[in-house]
Structure 1
Amino acid sequence: MMNKTNFRIVVVILVLIAAYLGINQQQQTPPKNESPIATSPESVSTVDDHQKIQQAFQQQQNNVQVRASGVVKAILADDHEGSRHQKFILLLKDGLTVLVAHNIDLAPRIENLQKGDTVEFYGEYEYNSKGGVIHWTHHDPQRQHIDGWLKYQGRMYQ
């Protein structure tokens, strides 16, 4: 028969195991509002806001939440003033180009990004005369803005 001390130890161990399994399961399950991470460029999400981006560009709109993908046309130097940003230009399927400004103080940078690579994004579109800017491609630690992300070669950058 177990004494109270042994019983408490067993309960604590069971709680720790249950917590570990719950956290591990949660990390393996994609959020409900998001498709599983793409495993190849061909399986990039079917969600396509290219038309929404084109309309926002034509109407010179800002603060438009969009999800799409594009091909890397140019890789620019990182911006180190204020919050640090990784910057690159994507060519969208309709010919429009957008600058992606990805906050690398809040999310990991995409290493080994090359011209011609496909990147999927979920972020906020801001108009400019050159095509626009996509930013908020990261989580918001203040929980005031919808979380954005980038997907590259099957990996989520948030």
Structure 2
Amino acid sequence: MRRLLLPIAIVLVMLVGGERLLDTGAPGKAYENAPRAADAIARAYRDRAHDVAVSGTGEVQAVLADDTRGSRHQRFILRLASGQTILIAHNIDIAPRLPRLATGERVRFKGVYEFNAKGGVVHWTHHDPQARHAGGWLEYQGRRYE
């Protein structure tokens, strides 16, 4: 069941307008006034928000198996400074994989937040091949992956 949640969420997002996710680079809701990035994500989680542009830094808590159905995604869980955990779903058909990712490593991110009961998912952590959206990215060991 857990393995089905992310692919279902991605399909639903695409069906309801995935092409708008980062259309202007602005978040779908106004979370930019939060004093820290982790606070913005905590508010998005509390509000059960979707389509929210976010950025931040976290520590890798778990490296999960790649999602290989449809577009391939490297998946891992980050713990934010607030203690909240989020799933990062990084499209490795579009952007390079983070090499030798391990628990305890720090990763900076910019992408789109989607609520789920486990803390949320951040995706669109890559450039848009059609150049219709502001791009997201991951930074790991001094290198940016987009």
Fold shared per TM-score above 0.5: yes
Corresponding letter in the other structure for 2:56: A
Aligned partners of 1:146 and 1:50: how far apart in 2?
21
Which structure: larger Rg?
A: 1
Aligned to 2:81: 93
Partner deviation per Cα, 1:120-157 (whole Å, 9 max, x = no partner): 00000000000000000000011222200000010000
Alignment pair present for 1:104 and 2:100: no
1:74-89 superposed matches below 5 A: 74-89=62-77
| Matched residue SS, 2:134 | coil
Aligned to 2:61: 73
Aligned partners of 1:142 and 1:102: how far apart in 2?
17
How many percent of aligned residue pairs carry the same amino acid? 54
Query: Quick check: which one's helix share is greater?
Result: 1
1:3-152 superposed matches below 5 A: 48-152=36-140
List alignment gaps of at least 5 residues for structure 2: 1-34
Partner deviation per Cα, 1:7-26 (whole Å, 9 max, x = no partner): xxxxxxxxxxxxxxxxxxxx
Question: TM-score, with normalisation over the residues of structure 1?
Answer: 0.69
Aligned residue pairs, count = 112
Aligned partners of 1:83 and 1:144: how far apart in 2?
19
Aligned to 2:27: none
| Matched residue SS, 2:57 | strand
- Report runs of 4+ in structure 1 exceeding 2 Å deviation: none
RMSD: 1.1
Corresponding letter in the other structure for 1:76: L
Corresponding letter in the other structure for 1:69: T
Question: TM-score, with normalisation over the residues of structure 2?
Answer: 0.75
